[in-house]
Structure 1
Amino acid sequence: MRLLITRSMPEAVVAAAAARFDLVLRDKTSVMSGEEFRESLRDFDVILPTLGDLYRADVFADVPAPRAKLLANFGVGYNHIDVAAAAKAGVQVTNTPGAVTDATADIAISLILMAARRLGEGERLVRSGNWAGWAPTQMLGTHVSGKTVGILGFGRIGQAIARRCHFGFGMKVVFHNRSKVEVDFPASQVEMAEVMAADFVVAAVPGGPATRHLVDAKALAGMKKSGILVNISRGDVVDEAALIAALQSHRIAGAGLDVYEQEPVVPEALRTLENVTLLPHLGTACLEVREAMGMMAVENLIAFAEGRALPNLIAV
């Protein structure tokens, strides 16, 4: 079977794929163009796409009978793929759940600490050469231990964040989730408004139309003035314009972001604010994790090639 991998991958993943498939590696870091998406569906049997590869309904409409029969997505999130349109065209879609959980949870904790303790601002001060030395009132931030964290979305990643907050920092955990969740550590399932009123609010929901602008101006208005928002889910879960307004007016104390509405474009208004920590989508950026994600995607590809049930099939 002819396989396209749409972007550069860890060497171990490429080797595993090449050992089993007639591999074409698009060895670039950039996202494909619209015509490349269409060509991939026409020219390959299976495809390993990544975040940002927009296999939307219009792409499938232009290639209604594709040669490709599987998109083995590299990543747990798949809102860049129209799964319903893919299914209509006879294309199955898989993802890589589990492999990303701990790394993404670690980034959430990093952003909580960075935003609370003004670590990005402090590093910029030292690098600028303008640090005048230690002082009792220098760059006072917010204590994390013992505070309340509110988590939007309580799947694998949300629960991993909650465990770190509870067991690592003695934090009270409240969460909002569409379905009932039972856990074996102290955490209370509450309405969204109560989550937004926590000291730290972490967005950990899946991307897609159902969660777009879940955190909007109204939700942000429910936060404490001392509250800090962290987003490690998808950029459009947070209304970026509303967040900028809340940060500029000091309606909330700060934010920590790893994702953005129009990646890789980050609004200048965000980049010039000192009360927001900005990361370049580092959620799963560990070699071991990226290798595990890639190997899971390859396992889905091999299962398809061998006519077996797909381990991580996304249901339509």
Structure 2
Amino acid sequence: MQCVCFVQCVRGLWRPAQARRLLKVTEAHRSVRQLQHTKVMEDNKPWALISEVGDEGFTEDVTDILRRHFQIVPHKDLLQNPLLYGPKIQAMFLWNALPAVEPSLLSSLPSLKVVVNGGVGIDHLDVPYINSVGVKVTNTPGVVSDATADMALGLLLASARNIVEGHQIAVDPKTTHIPQTLIGVEVSGSTMGIIGMGHIGHKIAQRGRGFDMKILYHNRSRRSVEEEQAVGATYCENMDDLLRESDFVVLATNLTPESRGLISHRELSLMKPTATLVNISRGLVVDQDALVKALQTGTVRAAALDVTHPEPLPRDHPLLGLPNVLITPHIGFNTYTTRRKMVQMMVENALAAVKGQIIPNEVKPP
């Protein structure tokens, strides 16, 4: 009888242990299946080339969006092993115009279907050539407009009201009194002339109206009466008229062969000596040598620039030493919200191209 009780007791102890062991085995099998499933899913993702992950490329806060849909390959990895990665890559994501889309790179990517540009401007891309080798080009229109328009008004206000200089005085350990000579110019009620009345230009006009500014604009084509009335803008068919009348001239035009060097000696000489030039378009729209001279001689009061050529400027460039110049490092679009929206749009464009679907934001040759 004691033996029977002993056996039953052992069985009672053994069964839970066996159950736990079976549970562990089951969980291990499930984990293996999950890993196998994840690997299959990873293997099924299309491959994409990027410049890099980090400060000079796609930052970690947006790279996760890419990884959800693509196996990403940094450019340096492609260069180290082109035979492994080159044939797999179907999409190329550009950030700050990198990787540079050169014929040698395109020829190393036989499966490439699309070059996906982050941002609106595609002046760094030879779209006809890229299309000629069977590759589509996309960009991200509209998504950067609000942030870039905000930056335009921020630069305008900072320059007009000497905000940077005021900050430096306020935090300088040598400051013992507040100087009364740091006098700015009035923004409210002034005249703002916008050159380039696309989506961004229209957003800038909206913001200017909030400051009761008189809005002038020059564009290749006139906008509708309804669009003009919505922001209180007046069309200047002749750009010279806009330059003569404006207290702030804001450049929001695309870089094209026609707009390269659009603002040079003659145009600057037409502006008021109290006027400020604000550029959030492209550095090459302005003749920088002419701008330096105009600022040094008092032809114009000041310049506020989010773009230059090159970027960054050489450390000995004369623009960097002028007290009436405010420069930021091409950060007009650079907010957390806009960056994520931009990368999400890039992913949608790329997936459509890879799947052979209609591409939402395909760029056609001119």
Asked if these proteins are the same fold (TM beyond 0.5), I'd say: yes
After superposition, the C-alpha distances for 1:18-40 in whole angstroms (9 at most, x for unaligned) are 22222224599xxx9xx89x999
Seq. identity, %: 35
Q: Which residue matches 1:170?
A: 212
Cα distance, 1:55 vs. partner?
4.1
Taking the aligned partners of 1:171 and 1:45, their CA distance within structure 2 comes to: 48
Q: Which residue matches 1:49?
A: 94
Cα distance, 1:122 vs. partner?
1.9
Taking the aligned partners of 1:153 and 1:69, their CA distance within structure 2 comes to: 32
CA contact (8 A) 2:97 2:117 kept: no
Taking the aligned partners of 2:86 and 2:132, their CA distance within structure 1 comes to: 14
Cα distance, 1:51 vs. partner?
2.1
Structure 1 pair 43/207, CA: closer, same or farther in 2 (3 Å)? Answer: farther
Cα distance, 1:247 vs. partner?
0.7
SS at match of 2:333: coil
Q: Which residue matches 2:70?
A: 21
List aligned pairs for 1:3-22, cutoff 5 A.
Answer: 3-8=48-53, 9-11=58-60, 13-22=62-71
1:189 aligned onto 2:215 = no
CA contact (8 A) 1:115 1:254 kept: yes
Structure 1 pair 233/170, CA: closer, same or farther in 2 (3 Å)? Answer: same
Q: Which residue matches 1:145?
A: 188
CA contact (8 A) 1:205 1:233 kept: yes
SS at match of 1:169: coil
Structure 1 pair 236/120, CA: closer, same or farther in 2 (3 Å)? Answer: same
SS at match of 1:140: coil
Aligned length: 306
Structure 1 pair 165/27, CA: closer, same or farther in 2 (3 Å)? Answer: farther
The alignment's TM-score, normalised by the length of structure 1, stands at 0.89
Q: 1:222 aligns with which of 266, 270, 275?
A: 270
RMSD: 2.5
Structure 1 pair 95/107, CA: closer, same or farther in 2 (3 Å)? Answer: same
Q: 1:307 aligns with which of 342, 356, 359?
A: 356
Structure 2: gaps spanning 5 or more residues: 1-45
Cα distance, 1:113 vs. partner?
0.6
Structure 1 pair 53/220, CA: closer, same or farther in 2 (3 Å)? Answer: same
Taking the aligned partners of 2:181 and 2:86, their CA distance within structure 1 comes to: 57
Task: Give the structure with higher Rg (CA).
Answer: 2
The alignment's TM-score, normalised by the length of structure 2, stands at 0.77
Q: 1:112 aligns with which of 131, 150, 156?
A: 156
Amino acid at match of 2:128: A
Amino acid at match of 2:201: G
Structure 1: gaps spanning 5 or more residues: none
CA contact (8 A) 2:196 2:251 kept: yes
